Structure 1
């Protein structure tokens, strides 16, 4: 903890809630404190931006945006961001407090790590980065200082996305390269741009550092280091620490390729490769490698000064004065001395043999065949690319029938036989199995939903939305989902998009020439407000529709006004049992009953009354018609239609 200088913020309460208790560290961008959340009574960490950055409006805007994105990450290996606040001149983050130490502290203490230990640490780091990459967030400052080791051994990554706010602000103003230069990808140096593959590059550099104890590119100035990132390749770690397996070398050299397209596509793919290599190393690999290294070193050391090479000096204690011998020492006989010399000779031979075996094992593991194993990176590669790489290695390739795989994209290699990383003699056959994509699952029913709601439902099931089209519908309101392609209930791999079909609204039917009462009731059933006008036209059947507005095929929506013109009846007198009025009188006979189920009670009542019915409303709560009687057919004009409402 940094307590060398009194800090004016210690003891203050920010935003009326966060009491600063002590300072943890100070960096180029911010100072980190341990604080107490008074409201929730918990220990948290506070990162307060330096005054120069806090006064930069562009920086603050970017900082807030990045902080919101980081706060959206929820992963056990990510330091949680709880809040972003400001208090006067102080702009700060409220974060999870992680007691423990940084990976930098551990590396300084240990010097370097064995291959298995290094890969064990890399996996939670890459899992955290992978979660960010899935969310579209780039870390931009992957380094041991931002990897925290909790007291229980849990690994957490901090400062997600925050480097972007600082770098964007400073690069805009000064053209400087911002970031920890030892981990910068070439594209960050040349173009100032970064994506998920830039994080992969930095992770590869960090793996090199864990394995060797130092960075691959070192120079007197940051600019010279940046030059090396652009113009020099990262060497394999085994060139620094002999005995590191070739597969571990490849994890570093592949991730630090100058061409981003040749790196793992994101941290999730890199994690899969690291986990596969880790699983292929024996549990005691680090110990065995260290022992082999020590034995090899002892064998290469120069022998101490002594007798001529090939002779063994035997000290005869009987020739020494008694006062020079240890207390209780009894000189051995000449025979004992000869046996002792002989025994010592065989012990040396045995030790040398054991050292040679251990050293030979290490060399064999590192170099056997020079390509006698299947590259781990073929999983997730395009099949054609994997074929070329294996052909180049002198292996025969066969492609099997594709299978579904929930972790590998369609058209990529899902698995190989023998598995990736396995040793194999040149000329033998490797069978590649392509992925058909993610296992198919049922398309959910999103009919009747808005487009946004439909997207959320589909995405929650793992699908993406493809094309959006429209079609007229007499039953689905405008801008609501009519259906999907494929239909709801059908199975589809989430690798394929689901097309959504929206309603463009109802289409005005052609009612010209039909019975006026039936036409009016049909249109009212569609939720339209119908105005009926009467007009006498000779030569046209009485009570039939002679015109309509809007015309057939016009898009209409619930509540739109429509007008139909109905031909008046002639005056009929003494027409038998059915009496008609004169001109526009209505016959006292059965008429069609509009179906208003599902409509608002007030709209349904108006539609029925306009059609010539009395209406009785019953039910408990709600404002929607759930049932009507009668709900179809015909009924006498003036009779009662009962509506049952509900929620």
Structure 2
């Protein structure tokens, strides 16, 4: 089936600029397309995230932030990132398009590479990874699928020694890592290359990339990875439990130097590996220069007298090389120009081939007049040359094994600034491994450990890897309100805290099984092992409270009794009629349990009016006084012809309390 026909993005123009012309590859997290940047007129690679990942906010934010960081990483062996954006809600990256194949494709075609080719590819890989380590980035997913082998600068030669190697997906593995965990919480990384510390603790630093690069070298030399199995978890734990076997066990005849190089890079203890890719690159270049231009695999066996030549019989080209003794390039006819390091990978101190010593011709005149002079002269020259070679070997061995090393300073316990000053004074650089390490004894931002350790041998001027203390390990109680129980438990236990549920409570707003509250409160700092108690919702209560406001209290009581609820009354002053329900708690429509108490605010009626004493007051004045209090006044004037007649009787009497609007009578004569 033609997959390009079914892919709806083919022919689409992204952001009005990138026109997709074909699909290159599809992975578990994203698909890579070939596209044309119509603004600049160049071919680019466009990597767009799958829709299934777009809903993971953490993944998307991490992907975008780290893409910006990688875009600032400029190196000829790093696949450049040009742009990033979103298309229909899906994040994408625009990267350099490399015309060539992945290292995985090459291994599938050829199964394995020669030692010269493997070291040449590894050097460029490590150069790229070292640039990332200097910028504080860790790749986390070094494998053949992320190594691109472009056409050689000489024009597509099949010789991989001259090919240009580029490493892709720097740092993006951290974003992917958050989305590659199965339901049991196990890391589902590329297990064939995963470092032991990632399996055991889920933590990675520059030494993790060193381990993966060592596995890639092993695969290039042997055509297979050291561990295999049907279960990814089983394969991952083999990295923890076993040492990587020497490549020569699978491919007899490989020099010991290559076995030792693989062993150094793949030590199970990270502190025993090279501290970063730059350190490993130095060792790889030293091994390659020490082995010189000799074919590191095999050479044709010379014909033995009395034995027919067999062109298929091969023996090692040179005696087995001890990894502890590096020798200079072999002079004379043993040097093979085809294995010379290409210009872009040549060490700064590496020069051209040493000039060969000149011998006198066979027929030259003897200055001393003796026929044996030339034979003696050649013998002296040969002995001198051998002596020089021996001195160079001894000097090189001393320099590689002892001369260039010194003791690492003690930086553990020093504050960050003091550690940097001490390292600088001793002539070392520093690299901070991320993340730090919690410590109950070492103050925050002080050095809790270093690699190499105090007093260990280290190359002069090398970089020391430091881990800073995060202080005592405490974690704030996370806000899990509104999360389901399983998600809340995962969030709490991820911080090393214990999870506990208590009997739930009814809620009209929080669905059943969802967190209502925590104890201690959100933000409270706890030590690992402390308990967070979670209250879950039981959902809406079974009985709905009726609306009782405005009813007479007797009617309200009757409704509550029929619903299986209990009335709790409290009276309040009000202008409303007495015994009328003014308010209720909980409000109407709320869900409650059976026999729940419903509080009713009941009116006591309007406040009472105190009747004043109007006796002996003029009749008209008394009438106005009582009306002013809101009473209905009835006047009985027995002497209507006397407007100033006084009040001689009043009802209600003085100081009586009556409701507003009540009637009052006064008698005047």
TM-score, reference length from structure 2: 0.47
